[in-house]
Amino acid sequence: MKWAPLATLLLAALVGCQNEPTADEMIPIEQVPPNVMEVAKKQFPGLNVDSVYKMKVDGKDAFEVRFKDKRGKIREAEVATDGSIIAIE
C-alpha cells in the first residue's frame, strides 16, 4: 500500500484540489524551524519524530512531521512555517 498516498495525490491533482501539497522533500529534523517542531510535538506528546517532509500547501511552505508510536503506526502533523496547523492525521 505504499502507492496509496501517491495515488491520492495524483487523483487530487487531476481534479484540481488546491489544498494538496505540490511536492514533498524529506529533510533532516535539525532543519525544521523550532516553532514548527514545537507545534507538531504538542499534537503527539510522547511520540518520537520519525521523519519530516518540506512541502507547499496553497503555494506556502509547510512541513509534514511524521511520528511513530510503539506499535509502529505513523501519525502526521502538517504545520505551516508560521506555526499554524494545516492537518492532523
CA 10 to chain CA mean position, Å: 17
Find the domain containing 68 and state its range. Answer: 4-88
- Identify the pLDDT of residue 80: 97
- Identify the pLDDT of residue 17: 47
User: What is the C-alpha to C-alpha distance for residues 17 and 13, in angstroms, rounded to an integer?
Assistant: 6
pTM exceeds 0.75 for this model: no
Give phi and psi for 69, each to the nearest 5: -90, 180
Secondary structure (3-state) at 30 = helix
Looking at the structure of the chain, the number of domains it has is 1
